């Protein structure tokens, strides 16, 4: 629109000039070299415009001829760069698709057309990585370090290659140099933090977390959590040689993350050693409200050494009220009641946990309760058998590793604050299936590793003159393997309960008429040791 208006305006100006010259007639006389040229003003103006146009065309022709080689060279370079960047684009696609042959071909073509461009070196390195040629990849990354704009990228590539070949020292050096050149590089700061945690340099790791927080690489909530975890790790390492320093670190960790169970348990234990029972109880109770945990219960029940079982039972009841009847609170009450010989109170605490599928700890606690109250009976052994196939209780888990104890970093990846308190995966087996079915689980592997023990062991061998009862049918495979699991825990107890062999010959009584048949015995045994 504006162009049309400008064109119309120029036409108007030209028309106005032509009319103005036509209204004012006159002559122009040019004398040059003995010649005189006389013409009107209009003709002179037109001739002057034509001469200027001719001179302009002549100048353009001359400059075009002079610049023709340069333009041809520039056009050739432009075509090379276009083909080179097209090769880079196709090479990146080939790398992403995993086509090693095409990736190498396009990488060589891009290097031939573009030379040592950053994208060319990156494509060459990635093509070598896809092909498994680590030497060529490292050489490409080292070439990147020669240029300022690709130095950090080269350091990252060398860092990755060092990690792949297991050279932790070189990887740490590359990450440290990258942090110096580019403090905001997240991968470099993560690597430095991981290296300091692996070296157990908790104070250095704290400095790294502070620097990452100041650069905006960590949000405030995550930064507080990481600082609390590192302070807890520092306290655990200093607990033997510097109890006061360990207590300060644990208290600082509790201030940053009151729900961090290891920090609260450690602070409560150290405060109870100093005799500050009120502060220790407050720390443990605060963490218990957020996450009821057996470590917290252990610390809380033993705040004051030398207390009676009834005193510990009262503290356990306090924990149960604070957790609103959570399973961990009921387990604490049941364990304390069992130690205080309050069997009815223990049963009342465990009753709600028996309605669905009781966990392994609940089954073991019920077995202890049965044996403490009634002695070694079939019910105690039945609860032991249930414990072998019961759902597993929560544990510390990090990257698939189940541990009984908390750690600040993952044993697999070295990630900070990786352990979480949760139940391990549970493998359910149908009741009609036996333990030898093709089901992979930790419990099954544990059972297979145990030696198969006989279902019953005779007290003593009778002499040859004594009548020996006919052996019954062999127990089912499920019965034998289930008894094998409970055979080892009960071995010492059975030995203790076994009376000494008589001095004279042992005579086995005749089978009474009301003894069930062998098939009924096998059925009764399967029902007694069936997995619940």
> Is there a single domain that holds both residue 108 and residue 167?
no
Claim to verify: residue 206 and residue 153 sit in the same structural domain = yes
Q: Contact, 279 vs 271, CB < 8 A?
A: yes
Nearest to 336 by CA among 312, 360, 367, 305: 312
Q: Show Cβ contacts of residue 517 under 8 Å, excluding neighbours closer than 6 positions.
A: none
Is the pLDDT confidence value at 4 over 70? yes
Among 218, 244, 276, the domain-final residue is: 218
- The burial of 104, by beta-carbon neighbours within 10 Å (0-12 exposed, 13-18 middle, 19 or more buried), is given as buried
> Does 124 map to a domain?
yes
Average pLDDT of span 250-270:
94
- What's the mean pLDDT in 185-213? 92
Answer whether residue 474 is part of any domain: no
The set of long-range contacts for 463-468, using a CB threshold of 8 Å and a minimum separation of 24, is 463/505, 463/506, 465/505, 466/505, 466/506, 466/507, 466/508, 467/507, 467/508, 467/510, 468/508
DSSP 86: H
Tally Cβ neighbours within 10 Å of residue 532. Answer: 14
Q: How far apart are the first and last CA of the chain?
A: 87
| Nearest alpha carbon to residue 401 among 410, 414, 393, 392 | 410
Q: Tell which wins on pLDDT, 14 or 302.
A: 302
**Is the pLDDT confidence value at 519 over 50?**
no
In tens, the pLDDT along 37-92 reads 888 777 777 888 888 999 999 998 888 888 888 888 888 888 888 988 898 899 98
Residue 165 φ/ψ region, left for φ over 0, alpha for ψ in the -120 to 50 degree band, beta for the rest: alpha
Report the alpha-carbon distance of residue 18 to residue 13 in Å, rounded. 9
Per the listing, tokens 């010959």 go with 505
How many DSSP H helices and E strands does the chain contain? Answer: 22, 5
Bridge partners, residue 397, by sequence: 402, 420
Question: Quick check: 531 pLDDT over 70?
Answer: no
In a domain, 229, yes or no: no
- Residue 481 to residue 435: CA distance in whole angstroms: 8
- Domain assignment of residue 232, yes or no: no
Question: Is residue 353 domain-resident?
Answer: no
Sorted by sequence, the CB contacts under 8 Å of residue 142 that are 6+ apart come out as 154, 158
CA distances from 377 to 3, 348, 381, 520 (A): 105, 21, 7, 20
Any domain includes 105 = yes
Sorted by sequence, the CB contacts under 8 Å of residue 438 that are 6+ apart come out as none
Whole domain around residue 194: which residue ranges? Answer: 145-218
Cα 273 from Cα 279, distance rounded (Å) = 12
100 located within any domain? yes
For the chain, the average pLDDT equals 79
Least confident of 14-23, 239-248, 338-347: 14-23
Q: Residues 127, 165: one domain?
A: no
Residue 224 lies in a domain: no
Predicted confidence (pLDDT) per residue in 407-418, tens digit:
999 999 889 999
CATH number at residue 192: 1.25.40.10
Instruction: In whole angstroms, give the CA distance from residue 326 to residue 333.
Output: 11
pLDDT of residue 459: 37
Tell me: do 158 and 196 sit in the same domain.
yes
**pLDDT tens per residue, range 393-443:** 999 999 989 998 999 999 998 899 999 999 888 654 433 333 333 322 333
Identify which of 250-264, 368-382, 455-469, 513-527 has the greatest average pLDDT. 250-264
3-state SS, 427-459, equals: CCCCCCCCCCCCCCCHHHHHHHHCCCCCCCCCC
| pLDDT computed for residue 316 by the predictor | 92
Number of domains in the chain: 3
> Is the pLDDT assigned to residue 477 strictly greater than 90?
no
Name the strand (E) or helix (H) holding 403.
strand 401-403
Q: How many CB atoms lie within 10 A of CB 189?
A: 22
Compute φ and ψ for 192, nearest 5 degrees. Answer: -65, -40
Buried b (16+ CB within 10 A) or exposed e, 121-148: bbbbbbbbbbbeeeebbbebbebbbeee
Task: Round to whole Å and give the CA distance between 284 and 254.
Answer: 10
């Amino acid at each position: 629109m504006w162009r049309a208006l400008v064109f119309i305006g120029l036409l108007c100006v030209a028309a106005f000039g032509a009319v103005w010259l036509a209204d004012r007639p006159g002559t122009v006389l040019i004398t040059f070299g003995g010649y005189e040229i006389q013409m009107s003003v209009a003709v002179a103006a037109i001739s002057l415009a034509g001469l200027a146009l001719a001179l302009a065309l002549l100048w353009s022709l001359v400059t075009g001829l002079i610049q023709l080689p340069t333009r041809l060279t520039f056009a050739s370079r432009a075509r090379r760069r276009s083909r080179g960047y097209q090769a880079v684009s196709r090479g990146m696609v080939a790398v992403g698709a995993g086509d090693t042959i095409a990736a190498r071909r396009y990488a060589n073509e891009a290097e031939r057309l573009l030379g040592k461009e950053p994208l060319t070196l990156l494509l060459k390195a990635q093509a070598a990585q896809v092909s498994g040629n680590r030497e060529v990849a490292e050489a490409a990354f080292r070439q990147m370090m020669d240029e300022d704009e690709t130095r950090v990228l080269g350091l990252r590539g060398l860092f990755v290659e060092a990690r792949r070949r297991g050279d932790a020292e070189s990887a740490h050096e590359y990450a440290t140099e990258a942090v110096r050149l580019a403090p905001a590089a997240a991968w470099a700061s993560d690597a430095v933090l991981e290296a300091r945690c692996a070296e157990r340099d908790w104070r250095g790791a704290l400095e790294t977390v502070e620097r990452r927080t100041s650069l905006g690489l960590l949000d405030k909530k995550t930064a507080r959590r990481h600082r609390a975890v590192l302070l807890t790790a520092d306290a655990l390492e200093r607990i033997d040689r510097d109890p006061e320093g360990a207590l300060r670190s644990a208290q600082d960790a509790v201030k940053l993350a009151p729900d961090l169970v290891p920090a609260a348990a450690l602070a409560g234990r150290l405060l109870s050693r100093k005799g500050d029972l009120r502060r220790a109880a407050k720390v443990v109770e605060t963490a218990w409200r957020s996450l009821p945990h057996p470590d917290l219960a252990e610390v809380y029940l033993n705040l004051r050494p030398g207390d009676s079982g009834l005193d510990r039972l009262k503290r356990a009841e306090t924990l149960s009220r604070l957790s609103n009847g959570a399973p961990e609170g009921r387990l604490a009450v049941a364990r304390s009641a069992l130690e205080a010989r309050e069997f009815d109170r223990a049963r009342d605490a465990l009753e709600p946990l028996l309605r669905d599928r009781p966990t392994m700890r609940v089954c073991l606690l019920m077995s202890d309760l049965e044996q403490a109250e009634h002695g070694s009976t079939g019910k105690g052994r039945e609860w032991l058998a249930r414990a072998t196939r019961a759902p597993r209780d929560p544990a510390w888990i990090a990257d698939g590793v189940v541990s009984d104890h908390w750690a600040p970093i993952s044993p697999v990846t070295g990630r900070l604050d990786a352990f979480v308190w949760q139940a391990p995966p549970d493998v359910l087996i149908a009741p009609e299936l036996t333990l030898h079915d093709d089901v992979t689980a930790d419990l099954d592997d544990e059972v297979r590793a145990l030696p198969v023990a006989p279902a019953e062991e005779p007290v003593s061998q009778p002499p040859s003159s004594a009548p020996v009862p006919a052996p019954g049918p062999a127990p089912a495979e499920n019965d034998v393997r289930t008894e094998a699991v409970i055979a080892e825990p009960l071995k010492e107890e059975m030995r203790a309960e076994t009376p000494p062999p008589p001095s004279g010959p042992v005579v086995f009584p005749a089978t009474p008429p009301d003894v069930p048949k062998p098939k009924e015995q096998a059925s009764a045994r399967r029902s007694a040791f069936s997995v619940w």
